[in-house]
Amino acid sequence: MRLLITTFAGIIFGFFLGVSFPTISLTKMNFPSSLFPSIDITYIEDKYSGLSTEALLDAFNTFKANKVMSVPSSKDNETKIWIPTNPRGAERLPPDIIESESDLYPRRLWGQPSEDLTIKPKYLVTFTVGISQKYNIDAAVKKFSENFTIMLFHYDGQASAWDEFEWSKRAIHVSVRKQTKWWYAKRFLHPDIVAPYDYIFMWDEDLGVEHFDAEEYIKLVRKHGLEISQPGLEPNSGLTWAMTRKRDDTEVHKVTEERPGWCTDPHLPPCAAFVEIMATVFSRNAWRCAWHMIQNDLVHGWGLDFALRRCVEPPHEKIGVVDAQWIVHQGVPSLGNQGHAEGGRAPWEGVRERCRKEWAMFQDRMADAETAYFKAMGMNTSNLIAHKWIES
């Protein structure tokens, strides 16, 4: 009886002693290596850190019984992986398993992955489209060879209505109603997704391409070292800027003369380092910079054309207009008509008003960001000149 009472009292005392210390750190305890030969105690502690000591020991016994093992541990935990230079969030992965970039290449559901792609397109062209412009887009797509991935952003939600075109079955379709190409670009064309492409074409839907050949265009862009470019515009199609007007005496031009007082510097927009946003073509590196400059809430992209010069150096040499491959801007306000009519105004009027507001907001943000940077660097900002344009 004495033995039984003593044993029972010891169990009760041990139980209350254990619950008075709800958690312990197994990593602070020096267990013999022969007792726990190859189990990562730190892993078990992390996984069950919110449990009591009893539950923790039960979990440990389960690990041991089932021979579930983590990375082999050592006294100094040397086999844990932590690589700060890996992409953010992937520091615990071995570098050789990391795929930090992706692509837009469709894959098969069967066979060997290495045999999925018979050709890897080198360029990407995107159109933001509505069904009313499908025949114009059909004509445009036929100007791009199999070296191009075709991607359509559908602002009217009618992606399936394009199935009559054979090329549409190979194209990538993204459909969100009443969104602009810059909204799509910010969300679906991250630089790490489009990294396989040497050039990215960001085009509107209302462009005439009778005198345009995409492969020849790429040759001229490479020849003249253009990182950001656009085809020349037919002079009679309604131009806003002299820079984008097609010239007949040259393959490419990078500077122009504007109306008096429009250019404070001959190397700055709109006299140089300038293209419009209707038919812009970016190199891979230039797009990586431009993507980061696109604002999430400023969806029309007004003002970007004046700021693209910040993405290349020297901008008056790396930005230009390709005259030998030219297009016609038809000026069809399809997306503009997707606006909301209110106060007796047409839908496009509200859209245009939003565009103007966004332009002013973008310029203010850019000026504020530059001022904040130079102040942080201890530089005098009084000599900074805000280069602003607001359409009258």
- CATH, residue 160: 3.90.550.10
> Do residue 160 and residue 197 come from a single domain?
yes
> Do residue 120 and residue 249 come from a single domain?
yes
The closest alpha carbon to 241, from 223, 226, 253, belongs to: 253
Residue 35: the pLDDT is: 41
- What stretches of the chain adopt beta strand conformation (E)? 123-129, 148-154, 172-175, 199-203, 207-208, 228-233, 252-253, 279-283, 319-329
The closest alpha carbon to 124, from 199, 212, 61, belongs to: 199
Query: Which residue among 337, 359, 383 closes a domain?
Result: 337
- The reply to whether 48 falls in a domain is no
Residue 14: the pLDDT is: 74
Buried b (16+ CB within 10 A) or exposed e, 81-109: eeeeebeeeeeeeeeeeeeeeebbeeeee
> Do residue 353 and residue 296 come from a single domain?
no
- The reply to whether 80 falls in a domain is no
Number of domains in the chain: 2
pTM, rounded to two decimals? 0.77
> Do residue 289 and residue 385 come from a single domain?
no
- The reply to whether 52 falls in a domain is no
> Do residue 269 and residue 360 come from a single domain?
no
Q: How many CB atoms lie within 10 A of CB 219?
A: 15
CB 359 within 8 A of CB 351: no
- Mention every residue, 6+ apart, whose C-beta is less than 8 A from residue 365: 295
CB 304 within 8 A of CB 272: no
> Do residue 170 and residue 193 come from a single domain?
yes
User: Is the CA virtual torsion 278, 284, 286, 289 positive or negative?
Assistant: positive
> Do residue 139 and residue 286 come from a single domain?
yes
**Distance between CA atoms of 153 and 333, rounded to whole angstroms?**
16
**C-alpha atoms less than 13 angstroms from C-alpha of 320 in its C-beta half-sphere:** 26
Residue 11: the pLDDT is: 77
Query: 293-299: which pairs have CB atoms within 8 A and are 24 or more residues apart?
Result: 294/182, 294/185, 294/186, 295/362, 295/365, 296/186, 298/182, 298/358, 298/361, 298/362, 299/179, 299/180, 299/182, 299/183, 299/358
- The reply to whether 174 falls in a domain is yes
> Do residue 320 and residue 206 come from a single domain?
yes
> Do residue 318 and residue 380 come from a single domain?
no
**Distance between CA atoms of 46 and 43, rounded to whole angstroms?**
5
| Per-residue pLDDT tens digits for 17-68 | 665 654 444 444 444 444 444 444 444 344 444 444 444 445 445 444 443 3
Residue 203: the pLDDT is: 97
Residue 21: the pLDDT is: 54
375: three-class secondary structure by DSSP: helix
Going by DSSP bridges, is the β-strand pair 279-283/207-208 parallel, antiparallel, or unpaired? unpaired
H helix count then E strand count, the chain:
10, 9
> Do residue 320 and residue 364 come from a single domain?
no
- The reply to whether 89 falls in a domain is no
The closest alpha carbon to 164, from 193, 190, 141, 147, belongs to: 141
- The reply to whether 268 falls in a domain is yes
> Do residue 318 and residue 383 come from a single domain?
no
Query: Which residue among 317, 337, 357 closes a domain?
Result: 337
Domain that holds residue 241: 116-337
- The reply to whether 159 falls in a domain is yes
**Distance between CA atoms of 304 and 267, rounded to whole angstroms?**
17
Position of tokens 């805000």? 386
CB 173 within 8 A of CB 192: no
Residue 37: the pLDDT is: 42
Residue 53: the pLDDT is: 47
> Do residue 366 and residue 308 come from a single domain?
no
- The reply to whether 13 falls in a domain is no
Which residues in the chain land under pLDDT 70? 16-78, 238, 336-337, 383-392
